[in-house]
Structure 1
Amino acid sequence: MLLHHRLEVLARSALFESLPTEALSELAAGAVERRLEQGEILFSANDPSDGLYIVLSGSIRAFRVNLDGREQTIHIEQAGGTLAEVAVFDGGSYPSTTIAEVDAEVLFLAREEVRRFMLLHPEAALKALEILAKKLRMVASMVEQLALMDVSQRLAKFLLDEAKRGAPKLKDGMSFSLPLSHAQIAARLGSVREVVTRALQKLTQREVIEIRGHRIVVLSVKKLRDGADDRMTAE
């Protein structure tokens, strides 16, 4: 990747978007591009960390695996998103494993280069804190859901959140794309494929949603919201 392309990528990233392009020149010069095929691991939990990554294209999923081999998705980053910010600041190992959900490209920035840059540009450090704070809130919400909600509730909330991504206002009959397998959905919910499949079947039987290939049609927004709040009655 040419230097001016790296500059464009950094300037569009969530972490550095507020900075002028000329300020990013030195950082861009030391950046290293890496291509990942679908299913390829970028780094593993507890590996020594040496920098952070910016997603150029594709989708990278961060997850942990429990003793039973069950995956729990922590977060997913797409173009412009960043990975491994925590390790850059505390000098520790990578906190999660990351994998390419589709073919992807990332830009690597060495830890010392990033730290030096942020000392010179405090606004970048403040932006990093903002990103970390958002991720902390997201993880806190995830812990709450895992502790207080069953899989059916978590699935209903997940579908609501996905629907809201593409529509400012939810309404009956709306549809949205969900190009994920049941196993991938299960990993995001801290469950297993079989349980998610049964939960989806119940939602279709109750005429809450309709599944059309990789699209979900919301037949009843109220029922879906009630499902997330545990007010649906079993039939």
Structure 2
Amino acid sequence: HCTAKRMSTFVREIDFTVDWQMLEAGKALFRQGDPSDSIFIVLTGRLRSVLNTVGGKKELVGEFGRGELVGIVEVLTQNERATTVLAIRDTELTKIPSELLNLIKLRYPQVVTRLIHLLGTRILGNIQQKNTMSLSSVVPFRSDSYKKMERSTVDNLATIAIVPVTGDVPLTNFSLELQHALLGIGPTVRLTPDIVKARLGTAALEGVNEFRLFSWLSQQEDIHRMVLYQCDYQLTKWTKHCLRQADCILIVGLADKEPTMGPIEKE
């Protein structure tokens, strides 16, 4: 009650118009050609933008991670959705209707200036990435330009699921080494079934506690720059949670063995 009193009238108005939305992995946020009536902010999760071409092929346009704006270009230009946006993993979003954006533009023009700056930065980054990709065919693999392109495609990753190909992969050792290396870019946590159960109780992975588990895992993303999910060898409940929470999946095998598909890949 005291917090609500300290809020301005405008903030309270926004609170009533902004909506929170959960999108399951594989579901579409919107589809190409849909009317553009809102923008979205990714709170947790990851989205992928896909363009359906005339020939029926699908072209990857980009991906959106935590904190990024989705669909704002079409709203500002009042055009239909240019691409189809799908959830790569379970994603939580804030939905801002276009009417609210118009109200903000009228009352606080500086917000629009900031949005234009963000859009310009993103568009420029996409152009630079495409230019770098076109050069990658004529420059050495380890060139600085290739490394720059490589970094630009993963700079907003927050969660990694580490999957063993075989049961004899020393996954714990590998995960600990990776965690140590990633500490250089920010706080990094490694999660296993035992660690989760120690924090949330032995029944943490049961279906009745799914919402509590999801909330806790989302909290780990807020606290840490990177979250490493150490999967089981088989497709257990824990592994399913890991795959649903992962921005990307890292498959680990033994270098002295022939490449093969593990049971999780086959399923």
Check whether TM > 0.5: yes
Deviation string 1:76-128 (CA, Å, 9 cap, x unpaired) is 232x2211111221111112221111101112111122111121012211111
Taking structure 1 as the reference length, the TM-score comes to 0.55
Distance in 2 between residues matched to 1:86 and 1:58, nearest whole Å: 21
Flag structure 2 segments of 5+ consecutive residues without an equivalent. 158-181, 186-225, 230-249, 254-267
* Separation in 2, partners of 1:114, 1:87: 13
Give me the CA root mean square deviation.
Answer: 3.8
- Identify the residue that residue 33 of structure 1 maps to in structure 2: 20
Q: Give the corresponding residue for 2:90.
A: 103
Show structure 1 runs of 4+ deviating over 6 A. 176-179
Matched, 1:118 2:105: yes
Residue 213 (structure 1) aligns with = 251
1:28 Cα deviation after fit: 2.1
Percent identity (aligned): 20
Instruction: Give distance in 1, aligned partners of 2:35 and 2:94.
Output: 18
SS at match of 1:128: helix
Q: Secondary structure at the match of 2:95?
A: strand
Q: Classify the secondary structure of the residue corresponding to 2:40.
A: strand
Q: What is the Cα deviation at residue 74 of structure 1? A: 2.1
Q: 2:71 aligns with which of 62, 84, 100?
A: 84
Partners of 2:148 and 2:56 lie apart in 1 by 25
Question: 1 CA distance for matches of 2:117 and 2:252?
Answer: 34
Task: For residues 26-63 of structure 1, give each alpha carbon's deviation from its aligned partner in whole angstroms, at most 9, with x where no partner exists.
Answer: 12211122211111110112221111111122112223
Query: What corresponds to 1:71 in structure 2?
Result: 59
Instruction: Tell me the CA shift for residue 177 of structure 1.
Output: 8.4
For residues 119 and 128 of structure 2, what CA distance do their matches in structure 1 show?
14
Task: Give the letter aligned to residue 73 of structure 1.
Answer: V
Structure 1 residue 70: Cα displacement: 4.1
Cα 1:214/1:85, change in 2 over 3 Å: farther
> TM-score with structure 2 length normalisation?
0.49
Deviation at 1:158, TM superposition (A): 4.6
Larger Rg computed on CA atoms: 2
Q: 1:52 aligns with which of 6, 27, 39?
A: 39
1:127 has 2:109 as partner: no
Aligned residues: 160
For 2:155 and 2:104, locate their aligned partners in 1 and report how far apart those are by CA, in whole Å: 38
Change (3 A) 1:163 1:118: closer
CA contact (8 A) 1:27 1:117 kept: no
Residues 52 and 144 of structure 1, relative CA distance in 2, 3 Å threshold: same
